[in-house]
Structure 1
Amino acid sequence: MAERGRRTVRDLRRGNRARVLQRLYFDGPLSRQELGPATGLSSGSISNVVGELAAEGLVEEAGVVESDGGRPRTLLRIAPAGGLFVGIDIGETRVRVELFDLSLEELARTDRLLAQHGYDVERIVGHVRTGVHDVLRDAGADPRSLLGIGIGVPGIIERDAAGAAGGPGAVVHGQTIGWSAVPFERLLREAVDVPPEVPFFIDNGAKTLGQAEMWFGGGRGAGAAAVALIGSGVGASVNRGDAFEEDLSNTALEWGHTTVQIRGRRCRCGSVGCLEAYAGAEAMRERWQEAGGPLPAEADDETALAALIDAARPAAGGTPDPVAAAILDETAECLGAALADLVNLFLPERVVLGGWAGLLLGPHLLPDIRRHVQEYALEHAVARTTIDLGHLGPDAVTVGAATLPLADFLASGGTRPAPAANAEAVRAADRVSANRGRDMVR
């Protein structure tokens, strides 16, 4: 009862707006009549909320449909021009920055290669700074239209609630890339030239991939899904619920550093026998080079993996390279055994394989991976699980990064970031509303 008593008129209004925005975002276009049962709101509330959102440029008309025996119904949809998001993938081989409109349609993108300089923090921050500048410039976009910047990074993320007030914010612990307690959010806030009220959302790249696949791709409609990110390194997330559920959860796992071989190969994390030391594209390149594979020493992970696959699975009439074929076979078994662990531990309805290397390997290895999962997983657990490739392509981490600020925007009922100069006035208004709510309860 005490928690309910703290809800104010502002909270109720924000909740109603959130319901309408979420339904239009994921199920639209919809008519006002369809929004009522979809949201549980009265027709009067729907009219009020739609009027507000349309006046703010967040919702627009999307045509008219005939109805049985009644007046034609006007369809409504999210207005793409209602705002902008930036999604950033701090990947293993490049920093990719993309600008999206409110419907997550890509407006501009840029890539910064990392092969030469690796994960120098200052250089990464510089890539993000220039990348954000470039996509805004290329799209002719006003930075004041930004609703948030989402970033997917390797490693474990810790958060300081004081981030927006000058504290470190999101701190990254990326052992495999040499980052130890890097105050990444603070560094970006100091460097990136956007209005100070624009929020930053930083999370693990496998988690952003998982959210993208759950919302728009191979996990959509599943109650629970495990989404694997296979690139130069390896990660995963476990996702439960959908975008309309308050108990939606999305948990990043350091799956690449689970053990698949006792006293096995040395992993770049410093341990031995990790999945990443066998199934990551960087490790696969190293294994082929160690075995004498015909690769230039300077070949990057993407070039090397494509060459390895071509050698192991040549075009019709070609002779497979036995060493390359053995590496792919071992990789498939390691992935199958590790995926079986996810199946046994989390009982997902679906397993989705993503990441640029996962999508490159998938067409060749998916049948073998499925077979090995069947061999290593519990029969009852695996019988209810499907295993497929992701639907969103190699840009899924960037799209997922953009969903971080998008999720916050939808949950807040389309509340735009308050200009820094007005932030205290907004907080004061919230305090007044809260006090009125308590007075009404009394």
Structure 2
Amino acid sequence: MADQAGRNVRDLRRSNRSLLLRHLYFHEHVSRQDLSRATGLSTASVSNVVAELIEAGVVVEAGAVESEGGRPRILLEVDASRFQVIGVDVGETHVRVERFDLALNELARADIPMTPGHYEPEVVVAAIAAGIAGVSDPSGAGTVAGAEILGVGIGVPGIVQAAPASLVHCQTIGWDAVPLEAMLREVTDLPLFVDNGATTMGQAEMWFGGGREAADTVFLLLGSGVGASVLAGGTPYRGASTSAGEWGHITAEIGGRHCRCGAKGCLEAYIGAESVIARYREAVGTPGHGPASDAADEEAALRRILEAAEQEAEGTEEEGTAEGTARTAPPEALAARTVLDDTALRIGVGIGNLINLFNPERVIIGGWAGLLLAPGLMPRIREAAREHSLHYPFSRTTIELGRLGPDAVARGAATLPVVRFLNSGGAPAGSASATAVRHRSG
């Protein structure tokens, strides 16, 4: 009984520390009185917990403000400079590794290019290891300029089976239960956190971008492939086996194009960057030539398709001008416009299905290809979503672009060790309390 009572007291203390620390993290320059009002804890409890956090070096005093008829109120903030985190985006064209302070301000970056078609787990692990070495202390001491590195978050394509250790299933790159976390433990002693890349992007947008103050949101990641993260009540919906959100593999056309997953007609086979480029090549009848000839540089290829579509728009405008100046766009431009219009239609229809299924407040389009394609296609995307969803839920949904740019996956991955830090009440990464919280959170 005494043991149970002791555990209850420790759990309550950790819960109070976590509650106050989370509030301080998301609300800058808060006084003890503000904390008491916001959390419902007594002023005595707040004072005791704050004193512990200050003594631990997690929280610092950040000035004072005058109060009505009393002593100035001391303002508090989390010491973001004392702790750092690393975020990793495992993409199909590169592995991006970024180091951040605790407030998720970028401090260093390393990009390791990937060879298309060569996603062997050992190759990816080597790229991640090289990136971590490139942004951290070469001694491997777990600190940089005196700041403690709390851990490494890794966003990967595919399904992440979290327990008992992270296994990654990704049919599109040939991964079947790859023990990525165990493999990475051979190259780093830092705490590791692995999650789906669309989910990490969604978390970054929820914290710092387009998803703020929205509880029910769908985040769409359009890159070489396609993924999604569904947040219900501010929490990722993962499903029975953590595979929820594989929006790219819903069937868009029965018996349609071959998808990299092995099925036919998947949405990814039409709107992923790799598929958009392939469809353009087929349309112009020169698979090895034209704007998409540089297969290793999908971004450059996609930009050329967008530029070709602009030529088609210019040609259409000039057809109605004075006699003798009319011209038509070249076939490549017409093909580009046709493929992009079809892509916008399919994205919009897919979003309409999500609106009917999940009734989100917001649908946010991100990923490097999404941010490249969607700005010019957004009117047609919204129109198609409206045409293919129920009127009332569509009227309550906004469709927007992500605000954090193509780095959102790495930034979101870096939130994973931050979440562990906040949930543990600021406990050191190697402590028993931190380990217990990490295992419970998956």
Q: Pick the TM interval, shorter chain.
A: 0.7 to 0.9
How far residue 393 of structure 1 moved from its aligned partner, in angstroms, is 0.9
CA deviations 1:140-172 (Å, max 9, x no partner) are: 8169822121100001111332xxxxxxx1001
Q: 2:91·2:156 contact (CA, 8 Å) conserved in 1?
A: yes
1:302 counterpart (263, 281, 299): 299
Contact in 1 for aligned 2:421/2:429 (Cα 8 Å): no
Q: Give, as a single letter, the amino acid of the residue that structure 2 aligns with 1:33.
A: Q
Distance 2:213 2:5 in 1: 34
Residues 1:6 and 1:335: Cα distance change in structure 2 (over 3 Å): farther
2:334 paired residue among 322, 340, 350: 322
Q: Would you say 1:134 and 2:134 are equivalent positions? A: yes
Tell me if structure 2 keeps the 8 A contact 1:344–1:377.
yes
Matching residue's letter, 2:155:
G
Aligned match of 2:170: 174
Q: Does 1:152 align with 2:155?
A: yes
Partner of 1:72: 72
Q: Is the 8 A contact 2:214 2:362 kept in 1?
A: yes
Within-5 A mapping of 1:207-356:
207-242=199-234, 248-251=235-238, 252-292=244-284, 294-295=290-291, 297-299=293-295, 300-314=297-311, 317=314, 321-356=333-368
1: CA distance, partners of 2:6 / 2:366: 42
Which residue number in structure 2 is paired with residue 166 of structure 1?
Answer: none
Q: Give the structure 1 partner of residue 403 of structure 2.
A: 391
Q: What amino acid is the match of 1:64?
A: A
In structure 1, C-alpha distance between the alignment counterparts of 2:99 and 2:38, rounded to whole Å: 31
Aligned-partner SS, 2:303: helix
CA separation in 1, counterparts of 2:291 and 2:310? 16
- Partners of 2:292 and 2:152 lie apart in 1 by 38
CA–CA separation in structure 2 for the residues paired with 1:123 and 1:26: 37
The percentage of counterpart residues that share the same residue type is 51
Query: How far apart are residue 266 of structure 1 and its match?
Result: 1.0
What TM-score, normalized to structure 2? 0.86
Q: Deviations over 1:295-349 (max 9, x none)?
A: 3633421111111111113498566611100111000010011111111111101
| Alpha-carbon contact 1:225-1:350 (below 8 Å) kept | yes
Q: How far apart in 1 are the matches of 2:228 and 2:92?
A: 15
User: Does the residue aligned with 1:157 lie in a helix, a strand or coil?
Assistant: strand
Provide Cα deviations, 1:10-60, integer angstroms capped at 9, x if missing partner. 101101111111111112221111111111111111111111111111111
Query: Separation in 1 of the partners of 2:402 and 2:72?
Result: 39
Matched, 1:370 2:366: no
For 2:313 and 2:390, the matched residues in 1 are separated by: 37
Q: 1:337 to 1:184 in 2, by over 3 A?
A: same
CA deviation after TM superposition for structure 1 residue 116, in Å: 4.9
The two structures, once aligned, show a CA RMSD in angstroms of 2.3
**One-letter code of the match for 2:307?**
D
- Structure 1's 339 and 5: CA in aligned 2 closer, same or farther, altered over 3 A? farther
State the secondary structure of the residue aligned to 2:290. coil
Note the residue ranges of structure 2 that are not aligned, 5 or more in a row.
Answer: 239-243, 317-328, 437-442
Worse-superposed segment, 339-348 or 69-78: 69-78
For 1:177 and 1:94, the matched residues in 2 are separated by 14
1:360 correspondence with 2:372:
yes
Letter in 1 for 2:174: G
What is the match of residue 241 of structure 2? none
Q: Contact between 2:82 and 2:146, CA under 8 Å: does it hold in 1?
A: no
- Distance of 2:253 and 2:179 partners within structure 1: 34
Structure 1: stretches of 5+ with no match in the other structure: 162-168, 243-247, 428-442
1:115 partnered with 2:115: yes
Distance 1:52 1:314 in 2: 64
Change (3 A) 1:140 1:9: closer
- Between the aligned partners of 1:60 and 1:336, the Cα distance in structure 2 is 48
Read off the aligned partner of 1:376 and give its amino acid letter: H
The offset of 1:71, in angstroms, is 2.5
Q: How does 1:198-209 map to 2 (within 5 A)?
A: 198-209=190-201
CA contact under 8 A between 2:159 and 2:169: conserved in structure 1?
yes
| Letter matched to residue 226 of structure 1 | V
CA contact (8 A) 1:136 1:142 kept: no
Q: Could you report, residue by residue, the CA deviation over 1:41-97 in whole angstroms, capped at 9, with x for unpaired residues?
A: 111111111111111111112222223333222211111123121110001211000
Q: Distance in 1 between matches of 2:353 and 2:314?
A: 38
- Pairing 1:381–2:393 present: yes
Deviation at 1:365, TM superposition (A): 0.7
Match of residue 417 from structure 1: 429
Give how far 1:111 is off.
0.4
Distance in 2 (alpha carbons) for counterparts of 1:52 and 1:7: 18
Match of 1:431 in 2: none
Q: TM-score, normalised by structure 1?
A: 0.86
Query: Secondary structure at 1:404's aligned position in 2?
Result: helix
CA distance in 1, matches of 2:236, 2:143: 36
Separation in 2 of the partners of 1:318 and 1:104?
A: 46
Deviations 1:378-437 (A, max 9, x none): 112211111100111111000110111111111111111226xxx69x99xxxxxxxxxx
In structure 2, C-alpha distance between the alignment counterparts of 1:351 and 1:296, rounded to whole Å? 29
Please state whether the residue corresponding to 1:108 is helix, strand or coil: strand
- Residue in 2 aligned with 1:437? none
Residue 434 of structure 1 corresponds to none
CA distance in structure 2 between the partners assigned to 1:220 and 1:262 by the alignment: 37
Cα 1:260–1:228 change in 2 (3 A) is: same
Report deviation, 1:215.
1.6
